Amino acid sequence: MDESKEYFAEVAQDWDAMRSEFFTEEMRDDAIARAKLPPGSVVADVGTGTGFVLSALARDAAHAYGFDESDEMLSVARKNLSGYANVTLKQAEGTTMPLADGVLDGVFANMYLHHAEDPPAAIREMVRILKPGGVLCITDMDEHDHEEQRT
């Protein structure tokens, strides 16, 4: 998906303002609440972008990993998450994340799967890094009227 890589390289500096039109804090916080992870969990955000979901996860996590393919998005995430000592950001594709099997209590992926080259492989990889009984939370767009995003 070279088009996605190019797109996110171009919009990384503006993404935080842009994303507010696509998904909200309420959606993010509701998804995290529904996961019912206990404080002190170890979690990951796949396709973390600028760290919007990861910042909320990090508040209660023992450790929070953010994975993204875009250097540009991760550069912004590093700034956004600089106040969190419990966050690790890594460049990685969603189908090959640099973690051992079964180490996470929760894996989150917001607005990611429609950018994945192979969505089933990405889901398998997310499940691989989850502990038995861990939570996989996949969210996508709120209702919107942005026709270009439907394409």
> Can you give the residue ranges of every domain in the chain?
2-141
pLDDT tens digits, 44-96: 999 999 999 999 999 999 999 999 998 998 999 999 999 999 999 999 988 99
Place of tokens 């760290």: 51
Q: Could you tell me what percent of the chain has a pLDDT over 90? A: 62
CB 126 within 8 A of CB 106: no
Q: How far is CA 118 from CA 21, 36, 109, 110, 125, in A?
A: 26, 28, 14, 16, 11
pTM of the model: 0.85
Helix (H) or strand (E) holding 50: none
Confidence band for 102, pLDDT divided at 50, 70 and 90: very high
Decide if domain 2-141 falls under CATH 3.40.50.150: yes
